[in-house]
Amino acid sequence: MATSEQITTCLSETVHHLVCRLGLENVDNEDLSHIVTTSGQVCWETITINLCTLDMEHDLNYAESVRLLGPVCKTVHSYLLSLSTKQFNDQYGVWFIWTNNPEVFIEVFEAIKSSQHTTIALGLMKLTACLERALGNVYLMIGKDCPFLLRDLLASKELATVFGQNVMNVLRVFLGSPQSLNLRNILWHGFAAPTEIPPMYSSMLLLLTAGLGQKLQRDFMPRHRPYFRLNQLEELVIFPDINEEAITLAEDLIGKSDFVVEIMLPYWREAFAAYRNQRYADCVILLLPQLETGLRKIFTIVNDCPYRFLTAESTTFYTTFDEMLAKYLENNDTNQLPKTLGDPIMEILWDLLNHQEGPRIRDHLSHGELDLKKFPEEMASHVVAVAIVLLYCCFGNRNKISTENKFLRAIVSSTHSYCSRFHPIGRLKQQLQHCVGGLRKWDEIPRPSIGQVAEGPRSGPRMQNISGCLVEELVSYLMKRLQPVYDEELNISQHLSAEEQLHLVTKLLASSISTLYCPRIVLEVVALLRKVVFQCLTVSEHVTSGAATRYQQWLNRSLRSRQRQNYLRMLGSIEYLHSTFSIITLLVTVELLNIRQMSEMDSSKSYIYLKFLKSLLQYTENMMTYTSPEKNKWDETWDLTEKSLMKVKEFYNRWFNGITSDQLCPLCSFACTTNK
């Protein structure tokens, strides 16, 4: 497998025989009138009679069922080829409405008539995605929690109740199991070359989908779930815009890069042609399986497991993105692919494909969760750029190409400093940036120019105590905590004001933090820190919006006496709250930069640390309640803040002086104290 020329198929021998030959072996033709009536009704009994079960078992004999259904598929294919697009639409268009994507099925029909293998394969991928989504909608009419995997959906009792078990068994022969034709998976995971899927299977699935629509009563149409929205596009803007120069570069690379398997070249060419023609969904649908195929090829080479390149049999899992991006192989050896590609490219792939808060583009596309008619150019541009980077990474003479092509230099250099946007650590960094922005808006809070405000509650010596001595001690501890993980020299006196603390947070957030393969304890800490910052953001919003509303009411003289006093308490609280939440924002940032140390702590110290963070979370949750429009308990915020900041000081004092087991109880009481 050293060169792509040696690869003649990505299908194992068994799968290749099942998909490419078995259904074509029977030369007999089925009578069309037994399959479709003159009015276009699908005769399900004629189709389901070809199903074969295993001896002594109730499960399907998939191979024999494929062989028996072959003549039916050939007859259906010949029948559809005899129809014009108008005839097909007039006869069957109404029966695709239940899918919420009838135009996709018309498109698949036109692809079959074109005889272009790549176009037929693309159409089949879109058909299976839309069909899965539609079947999920039907499932939800009588069931809850739609299965994520198509094979589980097809095997569900809910769909068998609606359509009949034999009907669902027919679909399972085509789509539902590694033992079946499994057309959806071998295409979406990049195993099937364009010429390896007989077009008759696309025709058969078209007719079956129409037949499912016929079985649904007109008043029994499913409710269509809203599409997933790609709200992460702005965060994916890391590469230069993809223009004609980029597409030309990509087309040149695919003919030379070791990343490409030669039999898959038609997919690559059609993907870039689709981008040129602004068919962005088609471009990405074609590219994603090829990225998986290329990565699988490199994965099997660097890990010396060539047998993992082909489709697996029913007893073995496919080698998919999930396995290739993992830290360890199935035998617990270290996966060499991350080392080969480097951390930045691995983080780009994790962000694009795996992280729960990221676009997870392959999952959403393949399961029919995206609106193909409104697929964004930005996402297609990003996927094309990632493809170019991978093509370059697996190019023999990189240096020659990089010096010759300025655009390639620009696109590859964009990856060098990439940090994950969608890993929980990346999301926490973004939350902290929002928090800094929110706290800076406190300087713009309007105030009535009256003497009473200056004499407002909670001013004077007690305020000076919090804003001065205690702040200096807390900042001192945070600087000490920061020192081992930050290169620049730190001066405590320069970071005593809230403004300087927020400025420091902004600088610290520019630091790179590795997100690959975080231990569980790290993710647990990050989850707690994210909750703390969320509460801080909410408190900030409460203060700024509440102050603006009260100020306008003050000007309009619409505040009652008690409301005026409460407004003055709010204004008197703003300074110390701003100082407090700036310190908490800095604290969270400092702890984030120290996050990798969590994996080195012993269990007792980790326990104490988590207790501390939970108590800090409890404080911010209480503050969110007290500052809400419904509560407005500003005196209580002072008392709670004073106690909590003292506890933060106490924690760091013990932390730096060495925590022992006999100190566990006092520290664990932190949460109890802040709850009182």
- Tokens at residue 148, please? 């994520």
Confidence tier at 670 by pLDDT (50, 70, 90):
very low
For the chain, give the mean pLDDT: 90
Is residue 457 very low, low, confident or very high in pLDDT (cuts 50, 70, 90)? very low
Q: Which of 559, 546, 532 is nearest to 621 (CA)?
A: 532
pLDDT band (50, 70, 90) for residue 658: confident
- Sequence ranges of the domains in the chain: 4-220, 233-413, 424-675
The predicted structure's pLDDT at residue 11: 94
Residue 652 has pLDDT above 80, yes or no: yes
Residue 491's region, left for phi above 0, alpha for psi from -120 to 50, else beta, is beta
The predicted pLDDT at position 246 comes to: 92
pLDDT at 659 over 50: yes
pLDDT above 90: residue 327: yes
pLDDT of residue 29: 81
Nearest of 423, 425, 424, 418 to residue 592 by alpha carbon: 425
pLDDT higher than 80, residue 399: no
Least confident of 27-41, 126-140, 439-453, 535-549: 439-453
Nearest to 439 by CA among 542, 340, 369, 353: 542
Span 453-472, average pLDDT: 55
Residue 549 confidence (pLDDT)? 93
What is the per-residue pLDDT for 639? Answer: 87
pLDDT-derived band at 364, boundaries 50, 70, 90:
very high
The stretch 335-349 carries a mean pLDDT of 95
Write out the H or E segment, with its range, that includes residue 425: helix 424-440
- Could you report the per-residue pLDDT of 79-116, keeping only the tens digit for each? 999 999 999 999 999 999 999 999 999 999 999 998 89
**Structure-block tokens of residue 431:** 């939350």
Mean pLDDT for 317-330 is 88
- First and final CA of the chain: distance in angstroms? 68
DSSP code, position 258: T
At 674, the pLDDT band (50, 70, 90 cuts) reads: very low
**440-454, 501-515, 601-615: which range is least confident on average?**
440-454
Cβ contact 571:634 at 8 Å: no
Q: How confident is the model at residue 4 (pLDDT cuts 50, 70, 90)?
A: very low
Per the listing, tokens 């924002």 go with 585
Q: What is the pLDDT of residue 30?
A: 87
Lowest mean pLDDT among 228-237, 442-451, 482-491: 442-451
Q: What is the Cα–Cα distance from 432 to 535, expressed in whole angstroms?
A: 11
Find out whether 69 and 173 touch, Cβ atoms under 8 Å.
yes
Specify the long-range contacts of residues 12-15, CB closer than 8 Å, at least 24 apart.
12/310, 12/311, 12/312, 12/313, 14/313, 15/182, 15/186, 15/191, 15/310, 15/311, 15/313
Separation CA 181–CA 159 (nearest Å): 20
pLDDT digits (tens, 9 = 90+) for 528-576: 999 999 999 999 999 999 999 999 998 888 989 888 888 888 988 898 8
Q: pLDDT digits over 53-72, tens only?
A: 887 667 899 999 999 999 99
**pLDDT confidence of residue 492:** 86
What pLDDT shows up at residue 587? 98
pLDDT in tens, 493-523: 888 899 999 999 999 999 999 899 999 999 9
Angle, nearest 10°, between helix axes 117-142 and 265-276? Answer: 80
- Give the helix ranges, DSSP H, for 460-599: 461-465, 471-482, 498-508, 520-555, 561-593
Please report the pLDDT score of residue 488 as a whole number.
84
Average pLDDT on 140-166 reads 94
According to DSSP, residue 423 is labeled S
Q: In the prediction, which pLDDT does 398 show?
A: 56
Residue 219 has pLDDT above 50, yes or no: yes
% of residues, the chain, pLDDT over 70: 91
| Span 220-273, pLDDT tens digits | 789 999 999 999 899 999 999 999 999 999 999 999 899 999 999 999 999 999
